[in-house]
A and B are shown apart, each in its own frame.
Chain A
Amino acid sequence: MFEALIEGIINLGTPHSLMLLAAGSAVGLLFGAIPGLGGTTAVALLIPLTFGMEPWQAIILMGGVMAATSTGGSVSAILLNTPGIAPNAATTFDGYPLAQQGKAGMAIGAGATASALGGVIGVISLVAVIPIMKAIVLLFTPPEFFMLAIFGLCAIAVSSGDRLLQGLITAIIGLMVGFVGYYDVTSTVRYDFGIPLLEDGIKLVPALIGLFAISEMINLAMKGGSISQETADVKISRISDGVKSVFKNWSTMLVGSGYGTFIGAVPGVGGTVAAFLSYSTQVQRDPAPDVEYGEGNIKGVIAPESANNAKDGGSLIPTLAFGIPGSAETAVFLGVLVLHGIEPGQKLLEDHQDLVFTLVVALTVSAVFATLVVLILAKYMVLLTKISVHMLIPTVTVVALVGAFALNTEIGDVVIAFIFAFIGYFMIRFNYPRVTFTIAIVLGSITELSFHQSMLISDDQLSIFYTRGISVFLFALTILSLAFPTFRRKMKERKLAKEEAGK
């Protein structure tokens, strides 16, 4: 294993390899920062460029992209309240309020540092658990997947704070939207209302672009002014404050990285759930915060950012070990491996350990490189908050619509983005959480598929969800997460009552 690590370092040590890594990281940062593009698109678009490369060179290029995407996405999430990619959505909760308070540099510094450390921890975990991962992932059967999805939705609804009821409602509506289109189990097209555009289901990327990017532009148009309410107070020195805050709140970063690695390793769940779970856990771990979550608490940036970068290492665990992609991005990466004649699985781990460790080193270096780039350029990036909304609205809207079109080159996707923009705007207008809605759309098909598979396994006995170890554990976590806000409120009330009685 040590020899393979050395070989990985040597592979990356040549000027050509470093250039590939830098190019991959730059593309990852750019695609991560522009809402609607994302790492999956970047990896897919770069596939043709790898045709003439050696496998390890292709792996370096792709590693650079994958490790840098979410770091780039955090910049637009913080400055524009528009997550570059879906996993950055949780970063907007506190990152954007910080930007509005003139602390954009601090938020970017914290986000980038948490991203780098989370990425490195994820990669270390990848190396550490490869030998035992097969057994762990195989413990997850449909009931466990179902309960994990339900737990994810409930935990995210709870993280909506005082909008729990609205969070649950939007989660359910999101699940309904996820049911639209072709259903694999029965080969039926459902809820398409005869509209050809809906036959394949609601495409996630255009929907997300509409929900987050364009709806925010509509909302900005209603508000007017500039992104930052206190642009004059933005200070460059706050970047180092942000970096320091990550080390000061190291437990938040470690827990977030743990979530990212664990959730990332579960196929199909991905970085978005990891980031939101990490965020909601942080909110619950910190019942009396100095600054309320959602109003600019720096820990609200550290938790999701460490998780969504750590998930890169985690999601590669099932990809490399079993050929089961942990996310859409790793699914495309799997295509790159196959294209270069590399078959994931035991053979890869035994015969091509050098390639595995080349990827490990590339991910580590790219995570740090992307962070350094963001930290250096953040000085200029904070200037974005001074731009008038009337410059941002038309440009972001147009680029977002082009991004919606570009993935499948279908004009119908522009219409989807447009419709979801209005859904998103009304959710902002009436204070219904968009996040639970989004996660539910993502989890809709997985949840239903896992449910049906569980029913088949158990002969239609619902007891399957509460008679198996891991699913019971996840079921208990679901109940606890739903009960937690009430429990916390009762505790607060009791404490207040005691204090008043003491007076």
Chain B
Amino acid sequence: MRIPEQRQPTAWYILIILAFVVLFIVTSYKYNLTDRMFPLMVGYFAVPLLLMDLLSLTDTKIGGQISLFFSGKSQKQVDEDADPTPRTLGQELIIFVWMGALVLGIYLIGFLPCTPVFVYCWMKYRGGYSVRQSAYLAIGTIVFVYVLFELILQYELYPGIFLYWYG
């Protein structure tokens, strides 16, 4: 019951969801009957569905039948219809680091300083735009955010943990 290489990332994804469901079911038993009854029904319903999804990735007869029943397609057809965008773990990690840096930056120094820095860096280093174009968009974005949220809507945008620390 081997899963072909191109479907293995999907299999890992399903296994992660399965792990989440198992954690959910185990955690449910900490609560009283009323609290856990409906969540447990839902949780136990998820397990066979996930196992069927996992089985449908295999090149077995039952895998093919599951695929055909739920999608009306053979697994080979599903492979052919998949998004052709090439995605490597390395490329994904780079994007995740960019986004993570933005959220960390917002947490540390707040929205107002972080916004133009992020927009400028993205435009310049990922988009390959000139310094001037990058600066224009960075300034435009921060002006829009400031005018709409701080001035018009009167939100006090998060100033960052550093500002809280230093009063």
Contacts and interface: CB of A to CB of B under 8 A. Distances in A.
Contacts of B98: 221
A176 interface: yes
Given A168-B49, A191-B24, A191-B27, A162 B71 contact: yes
Interface in A139-174: 162-166, 168-169, 172-173
A163 B149 contact: no
B42 A172 contact: yes
Interface string B138-159: 0001001100010001011110
Interface residues of B, number: 67
A430 B13 contact: yes
Interface stretch (A60-68, A179-187, A323-331, A339-347): A179-187
A193 B23 CA distance: 11
Interface string B107-132: 10001000100110011001111000
Contact of B38 (A421, A428, A451): A451
A446 to B, nearest CB: 12
B103 A395 contact: no
B118 A394 contact: yes
A251 interface: no
B34 A166 contact: no
A interface secondary structure, majority: helix
Interface in B57-99: 66, 69-73, 78, 81-83, 85, 87, 91-92, 95-96, 98-99
B53 A402 contact: no
Nearest to B145: A402
B42 A398 contact: no
A214 B111 contact: no
Contacts of B3: none
B135 interface: no
Contact of A222 (B35, B95, B102, B137): B95
B103 A418 contact: yes
A452 B103 CA distance: 39
Given A422-B96, A448-B38, A409 B9 contact: no
B45 interface: yes
A249 interface: no
Interface string A407-447: 00101001100100110001011110000000000000001
A133 B105 CA distance: 52
Interface stretch (A69-77, A260-268, A385-393): A385-393
Chain A, interface residues (CB within 8 Å), range: 35 or more
A207 B156 CA distance: 21
A489 interface: yes
Given A398-B119, A405-B157, A426 B13 contact: yes
Contacts of A183: 35
B5 to A, nearest CB: 15
A353 to B, nearest CB: 34
A394 B95 contact: no
Interface in A212-243: 214, 218, 221-223
A193 B30 CA distance: 11
A394 B45 CA distance: 40
Contact of A394 (B24, B107, B119, B155): B119
Contact of B111 (A222, A405, A421, A422): A405
B123 to A, nearest CB: 6
Contacts of A489: 72
Contacts of A55: none
A188 B106 CA distance: 33
A394 B129 CA distance: 13
A185 B34 contact: yes
Contact of B99 (A165, A218, A430): A218
Contact of B149 (A193, A406, A428, A429): A406
A397 interface: yes
A184 to B, nearest CB: 11
B31 A486 contact: no
28 contacts: A162-B70, A162-B73, A162-B78, A165-B52, A165-B53, A169-B53, A172-B43, A172-B49, A185-B34, A186-B35, A190-B35, A191-B24, A214-B99, A222-B91, A390-B122, A395-B119, A398-B119, A402-B145, A405-B157, A406-B149, A406-B155, A409-B155, A411-B107, A414-B103, A414-B158, A451-B38, A485-B72, A489-B72
Ranked 10 nearest A-B pairs via Cβ:
A390-B127, A162-B71, A165-B70, A394-B122, A394-B119, A172-B46, A448-B38, A164-B70, A418-B103, A430-B13
Interface of A: 45, 162-166, 168-169, 172-173, 175-176, 179, 183, 185-186, 188, 190-191, 193, 214, 218, 221-223, 388, 390-391, 393-395, 397-399, 401-402, 405-406, 409, 411, 414-415, 418, 421-422, 426, 428-431, 447-448, 451-452, 485-486, 489
